[in-house]
Amino acid sequence: MNGPALYELPSAPASWRVALPHTAAAVPVARALVRTALAELEHGADCDTAELLTAELVANAVEHTSGETPIELVVELKPSGCQVEVHDTDPAPPGDLTCPAGGPPDPWQEHGRGLLLIRALSSSCGHRPTESGKAVWFRLPAVPAQRRPSA
């Protein structure tokens, strides 16, 4: 082919799998891991949104599952964006992740907005059963370099 290439071949996907304590201390660790992982992706997803949604998934796993078994964070980076999963030992699906419950959350309550944020800000989200419980996930698309905020 003569002339410059119109596109570059996508780089290979990268992934991280980390066991986190079943405590609130897992939330900032998960945020830091996602921030670090997204710095590795040339055309990264929106880091702030990824951190926020990851924090919501991890906080929900800690709050709504019992026991001391660690939860697991899986971050997969692809040229098209990222997928973040949180694995826990409770097989029950998350409340209203893919099918909203009736009406908006009560503005006076501290809780009830996490799954709404995940639905609203991710390109897709869901849950699936695993051998030891479930995985709850979201995806974010890659942000083209010219649309990313400058540092």
Averaged pLDDT for residues 116-135 = 92
Q: CA 62, CA 118: separation in Å to the nearest integer?
A: 17
Judged against a pLDDT cut of 50, whether residue 77 lies above it is answered with yes
pLDDT digits (tens, 9 = 90+) for 79-99: 888 999 999 999 988 876 655
Q: CA 142, CA 78: separation in Å to the nearest integer?
A: 8
**Percent over 90 (pLDDT), the chain:** 51
The confidence score (pLDDT) of residue 9 equals: 38
Averaged pLDDT for residues 36-60 = 86
The confidence score (pLDDT) of residue 104 equals: 59
Distances (CA, A) of 112 to 94, 101, 106, 116: 12, 10, 8, 8
